[in-house]
Amino acid sequence: MKLDIKSENNWPFVISVVFVVLVLFTGIILYIIHNNISIQSSEDFWQMFRNNNLLWLLAAQVFIIPAAVYALTIYQGTTFAGVKNELAEQDKKSRSILKYVNQLIHGKYDTELTDIDKEDLLAQSLINLRDTLKNNKQLVDKQRREDEQRNWHAEGHAKFGYILRNNTDFEKLAFNVIKELTLYVNGIQGGFFHLEEDGKSKFFNLVAFYAYGRKKYADKKIAWGKGLIGTCALEQKTIYMKNLPEAYINVTSGLGQSNPNQIIVTPLISEGELFGIFEITSLNDFTEDHINFIEKIAESTASTLSTVRMNMRTAQLLEESKEQAQALASQEEEMRQNMEELKATQEEAARQADRFMRLENTVNHTMIRAEYNMNGVLIYANTNFLKKLEYTSNSQVEGKPISMFISKKDEDWFNNIWQDLSQGGRHFEGYMKHITRSGKDLWTLATYTCIRNEEGEAERILFLALDTTEQKKLSLNLEGFMDAVNRSSLKIEFDTNGNIRQYSDTFLYLFKYNEKEISGLNVFDLIDPLELENFNKKWENIVNGMNFEGQFKARTKEDKESWIQGAFSAVYNQDEEVEKVIYIGHDITLQKSMEIEFKNQNELLKKQEKLLRESEKELSRKLKEAKAEMQEQFKEIERIKIRNERTLEGALDAIVQTSQDNKIIFYNKAAENLLGYSKDEVLGHDVSMFFPQESLAENEFVSNYTKPGDSKIIGVRTEVKIKPKTNGELSVLMLLSKAQVENEITFTAFIQTIEVELF
């Protein structure tokens, strides 16, 4: 071994040698002095050593101690070098770990760990940490994408719910829906085909067309069952096609021309009724979310169209009610005009016989009324008709043809008039001759008018007439007319005190008195007590020479009410004094009754019209309230639906919801973790995919659960075996609940794992 004193590891050896030599020298000096030894020569010095073992032992330390120090120094140097190398390795390892951790902090999960043994526990922990972070990032990204899809669906449903609620005009609603839907699913063009009918066949009318960011105008109709639109309508399910031919669809925008190669056609169905078709095209593929979203919006649009159609029907009913009210008012006005025309005709007839104007003004003939069907068969006749035509009962005339009452000479003339009436033509008004039962001529001032139903079609013919036979005779024979007036009119002579002096048979017949009872009767005995005060003033004027013409209410012997129309005329003697008063009049009780009835009917019609208006207002108010309530219910349903979905989605238990045909319609996050299937893998599939074959055959709970229908075990928590995607079979606790909304039934399964605790 070569000793290098310049080495820092050799300094302890040199020091130890020097120290031992000094100690040895000091010890020898002290020994010599203590023992008083005289050293004269080297022989004396060696003689001292030979006789003393202690000095030899002390001298031996010169070699032993430095050798020990040197060995210790060499050992320490080797140990320190190993520690230094180990510290250097640890520093390199720490720097590598720090670099690796920094890479993980910055999301670089594909980084490999270098300068470290892969079998090292720390290295394995870091690799596991990297893999865990990488998996967590993938899960977070997947959750984020799912949240984005859910938010996309929720925002879309809210957006289109607003559009469907706030667009009352159909064309505006159709365009806004197809425009926003096309943009929302990244389409480039969209069409709204509305199902319509023309009375002969059904067809689809393109009511809204949107392409390349602009509203397009197209007049296009597609017959039922033709093309993709017709196929979609027949199958009532969505059609999705890719890689369309170049010439299949060609729409030119303001920036150029492009042909889409993706198309989706979706039916608008609500409660089994088809309302139209959505057609949307794109340059890119439609995702499953796009297709599901379009189908949901189509269903909501169909439901809205159903509501709109119902509102339109309600409005149509209101309009029909208004038309009926107007028709009633029109009929009322027409009847009033007819009465005025009859009155005007009567006045015209009176003017033609100016010699008898005063007499004619006092005569008001009783109206004759009958009704015929469109074939000319009599279906109703009043008493005056029977009386004037000399019949005694309705059975003698009802069901008889109108020709029975028309003269043979007038048949051709009357048939022309009737043919026009039976076809709904204009009414007839004028003089007409009828034949009585005994073959006599009955002249009338008549009108024939069509009575129409709600559709405006003539269904009956109304006959109204005034007996003008006597007027006709007046024009031929003045005496005969006067005699007829005396016989048919009410004629009474009074003295100036009002006592009855002479009277006609008509008076006796009308007031039911006999000749003996007439004696002592006064004009005031004939007047209705309620009219006496007013009549007294008129009588004073009459006896003073002022004639009175008009109508008054009288009372018969039997105290029955009777209306008389006529004139009081003062007759002077030779001294120009009023000698007597003559009254000529007619019984207008029936006519007055008709007038009162007509007035009452008019007032009733006005009241009904007022009630109808109030009903319309009330119906309008209720419709507004119902519409507002429907909108609030729709909002509340949307809120409840979103809240329930979020509640079920966040539940700790696995939840699987199925329809009545066992198709999976809801599948929460806990179910994904437990069963290992993603939502895309299970939604729309049969729930039996979660159970082993032996459970399907042997377990009653599972067997009933996986069979279509509603014969399932509800409300009983049962232990069953399920078949996750990767872990073989697993025992769980399952509880099944049932919910029914109208005719739709759903079943919800709550699944819990079985945990065993060891104490």
- Please write the tens of the pLDDT for every residue from 241-260: 887 766 566 544 443 455 67
pLDDT band at 267 (very low <50, low <70, confident <90, very high): very high
Helices (H), 353-443: 357-361, 383-388, 411-422
- Please write the tens of the pLDDT for every residue from 476-530: 565 555 555 556 677 888 888 888 888 877 777 778 888 777 777 888 888 888 8
The pLDDT value given to residue 549: 83
Angstrom distance (rounded) from CA 701 to CA 734: 9
Does residue 84 lie within any of the structural domains?
Answer: yes
Does residue 509 lie within any of the structural domains?
Answer: yes
Angstrom distance (rounded) from CA 748 to CA 472: 95
Does residue 149 lie within any of the structural domains?
Answer: no
Domain termination site, one of 408, 442, 467: 467
Domain termination site, one of 408, 438, 467: 467
| Sign of torsion over alpha carbons 697, 701, 706, 712 | positive
Question: What CATH code is carried by the domain that includes residue 697?
Answer: 3.30.450.20
Q: Is the pLDDT of residue 711 over 90?
A: no
Q: In terms of residue numbers, what domain contains 400?
A: 366-467
Between 666 and 252, the more confident residue is 666
Same domain membership, residue 393 and residue 455: yes
Q: What is the average pLDDT across 553-559?
A: 80
Same domain membership, residue 306 and residue 268: yes
Same domain membership, residue 216 and residue 80: no
Does residue 246 lie within any of the structural domains?
Answer: yes
The pLDDT value given to residue 86: 67
Q: Is the pLDDT of residue 24 over 80?
A: no
The pLDDT value given to residue 365: 47
Same domain membership, residue 258 and residue 188: yes
Same domain membership, residue 295 and residue 177: yes
Same domain membership, residue 92 and residue 40: yes
300 contacts 160 by C-beta, under 8 angstroms: yes
Q: Could you tell me what percent of the chain has a pLDDT over 70?
A: 79
Strands (E), 228-307: 239-242, 251-253, 256-258, 262-270, 273-282
What letter would DSSP give residue 406? B
Residue located via tokens 């159709």: 174
Question: What CATH code is carried by the domain that includes residue 231?
Answer: 3.30.450.40
Same domain membership, residue 608 and residue 713: no
The pLDDT value given to residue 419: 85
Angstrom distance (rounded) from CA 85 to CA 158: 69
96 contacts 112 by C-beta, under 8 angstroms: no
What letter would DSSP give residue 717? -
Same domain membership, residue 308 and residue 173: yes
Domain termination site, one of 316, 335, 355: 316
Between 618 and 100, the more confident residue is 618
Considering the entire predicted model, what is its pTM?
Answer: 0.33
Angstrom distance (rounded) from CA 427 to CA 430: 10
What letter would DSSP give residue 272? T
Angstrom distance (rounded) from CA 421 to CA 376: 10
What letter would DSSP give residue 659? E
Average pLDDT for the chain: 78
Does residue 115 lie within any of the structural domains?
Answer: no
Angstrom distance (rounded) from CA 21 to CA 27: 10
Q: Which two tokens stand for residue 681?
A: 């893998």
185 contacts 282 by C-beta, under 8 angstroms: yes
Same domain membership, residue 274 and residue 255: yes
Angstrom distance (rounded) from CA 125 to CA 261: 51
Buried b (16+ CB within 10 A) or exposed e, 647-661: ebbeeebbbbbbbee
Same domain membership, residue 262 and residue 222: yes
> Domain total for the chain?
6
What letter would DSSP give residue 742? T
Does residue 122 lie within any of the structural domains?
Answer: no
Same domain membership, residue 533 and residue 505: yes
Buried b (16+ CB within 10 A) or exposed e, 428-450: bbeebbbbeeeeeebbbbbbbbb
451 contacts 332 by C-beta, under 8 angstroms: no
Angstrom distance (rounded) from CA 358 to CA 584: 10
Q: What is the average pLDDT across 110-114?
A: 67
- Give every CB contact of residue 281 below 8 A, 6+ residues apart in sequence: 187, 188, 189, 190, 244, 249, 260, 262, 263, 264
DSSP reduced 3-state for 581: strand
The pLDDT value given to residue 266: 92
Q: Is the pLDDT of residue 473 over 50?
A: yes
Angstrom distance (rounded) from CA 49 to CA 610: 157
Does residue 460 lie within any of the structural domains?
Answer: yes
In one letter, which amino acid is 29? I
Does residue 358 lie within any of the structural domains?
Answer: no
Q: Could you tell me what percent of the chain has a pLDDT over 90?
A: 2
Which region among 367-381, 468-482, 729-743 has the lowest average model confidence (pLDDT)?
468-482
Q: Which two tokens stand for residue 417?
A: 């008039």
Angstrom distance (rounded) from CA 732 to CA 725: 15
- Residue 694 CA, chain-centre distance (Å), reads 48
Same domain membership, residue 463 and residue 373: yes
